[in-house]
Chains A and B, each alone.
Chain A
Amino acid sequence: MNLLLFSGFLGSGKTTLIRAFAQRLTDEGLTACFIVNEVGEVGIDGRVLGDGGLDVYEITAGCICCEIASSLVTTAEQIVERYHPDLMIIEASGIAAPEGVLKALAHRRGELFQDQLVVSLVDPTRLEMLLAVALPLTEAQIGGADELVITKLDEATPDELAAARKTLRDLAPQTRVSEITSENPDSFLPLLGRLATFGASN
């Protein structure tokens, strides 16, 4: 099993992308289990993904990168035991640093899962505000990614898009950046293709 971690600020488009990716996995005959972590006590994304027919484990009422890291390990163990999927997909809460999530699982790497990939999403329409309000978090999410994704192309102004590209280049010069919009599913294709290849590589 490989581990795919989606990170990115609140509302950056993680659940939207995961739903599209789940469809792609089905088309390719790959199996996946999903873990969704939300800070609120009421889980919403678990039900949104569940509506798409996915096997979803919800971890609510805390952040898996720190306070409830141990429930992440327990959940991952259950998934491996019950399903042995090709991929374990985690949607981190919007306030999680991917590093913290990986650290929680690091001691089980090789045993629970083989390879890992972190995809961080960036909403260009709010990036400037986010850098002002939550700089360390934003740096951690962008800097901790193996793949970066600028979302909401349909809504971003040319200036916002240019600024987002520059910020990503500055914070993560080596990382590949995709640009997508939920309004044009074709924009997802190259990224989803790479992620599916990663899923098939275990």
Chain B
Amino acid sequence: MRLRLAPPQGAFAEPHEVICALLEELGRRTESAGASLIGHLKCYVDAPSGESFHGSLTSLRSGPRCRGERAQGATSLTVDLTALVYGLSADQVEAVTLATLRHMQEQGRFEWELRELNHEHGHDQGDGHAHHHEA
């Protein structure tokens, strides 16, 4: 899904921190919702300055990581997010993601707006393949 995040006021001092916090909260919530394995939560983030970076989380133990430009002081962030998670349906992953965003807004981390929602393409369950779901 594509999101637009805006700071509660002013600018995001450290966008990496905001995105890492988002990935971590999303990871926690997918696990509490019953995910058997986080595949990869990842995103690509653009700031109005043209700076960009990517964020990733593969397990709560390893924690989130952001790499790329720091985009300090960005007044908004455009975030392309994919959540590939085992053990939850696509609808469940989407619901968890939206709940995470609402929670973080309530915590005063950012205001968010959904720009685009992608729908999962089927993937056959044949040999070598496993279920995944995407938000």
Chain A residues packing against B (C-beta within 8 Å): 9-11, 38-42, 44, 47-48, 51, 61-63, 65-67, 94-97, 99-100, 123, 125-126, 129-130, 132-134, 136-137, 140, 152, 155
Q: Known contacts A40-B118, A41-B121, A137-B130: does B54 contact A11 (CB below 8 Å)?
A: no
- Whether the Cβ atoms of A65 and B128 lie closer than 8 Å is yes
A-B Cβ contacts below 8 A, count: 106
**Contacts A39-B84, A94-B84 known; A133 to B127 CB distance under 8 Å?**
no
| Bound: A63/B120 CA distance, A | 12
Of residues 52 to 107 in B, which have CB atoms within 8 Å of A's CB atoms?
52, 54, 56, 58-59, 61-62, 68, 80-82, 84, 86-87
Top 7 nearest A-B pairs by Cβ distance?
Answer: A97-B128, A11-B58, A10-B39, A11-B40, A134-B130, A40-B82, A140-B128
**A42 CA to B80 CA, complexed, in Å:** 7
A40 to B127, alpha carbons, bound, how many Å?
20
15 contacts between A and B (CB under 8 A): A10-B58, A41-B118, A44-B43, A47-B44, A66-B123, A66-B129, A94-B40, A95-B123, A97-B128, A123-B58, A125-B62, A126-B59, A129-B37, A133-B86, A140-B128
Q: Is the CB of A51 within 8 A of B128?
A: no
B2 at the interface (CB under 8 A from A): yes
Interface size class of B (residues with CB under 8 A): 35 or more
Complex: chain B residue closest to A41, CB-CB: B118
Task: Verify A126–B37 contact, CB threshold 8 A.
Answer: yes
Instruction: Give chain A nearest CB distance to B24 CB in angstroms.
Output: 15
Tell me whether B80 and A10 are in contact (CB under 8 A): no
Contacts of A152 in B (CB 8 A): 62
The distance from the CB of B63 to the nearest CB of chain A, in whole angstroms, is 10
The one of A39, A41, A42 in contact with B132, judged by C-beta atoms closer than 8 angstroms, is A39
Partner among A39, A99, A123, A136 whose Cβ is within 8 Å of the Cβ of B123: A39
CB distance from B96 to the nearest CB of A (A): 16
**Does B134 have its Cβ within 8 Å of any Cβ on chain A?**
yes
In the complex, the answer to whether A10 meets B132 with C-beta atoms within 8 Å is yes
Closest Cβ–Cβ distance, residue A98 to chain B (whole Å): 9
From A11, A51, A63, residue with most partner B Cβ within 10 Å: A11
B10 lies within 8 A of chain A by Cβ: no
Listed residue (B58, B119, B127) with the most chain A CB atoms within 10 angstroms of its CB: B58
Max chain A C-beta neighbours (<10 A), residue from B39, B54, B126: B39
Known: A51-B52, A67-B124. 8 other contacts (CB 8 A): A10-B40, A11-B58, A42-B118, A44-B42, A44-B82, A47-B44, A95-B84, A132-B36
* Contact residues in B for A65 (Cβ distance below 8 Å): 128
Q: Which residues of A contact B132 (CB under 8 A)?
A: 10, 39, 95
Specify which of A48, A61, A96, A155 is in contact with B44 (CB 8 Å cutoff).
A48
Check B59–A42 contact: CB distance below 8 A.
Answer: no
Instruction: List the A side residues contacting B118 at CB < 8 Å.
Output: 40-42
- B129 with A137: CB separation less than 8 A: yes
Chain B residues with Cβ below 8 Å from A140 are 127-128
Residues of A within 8 A of B2 (CB): 42
Q: Which of A41, A123, A129, A137 contacts B128 (CB 8 A)?
A: A137
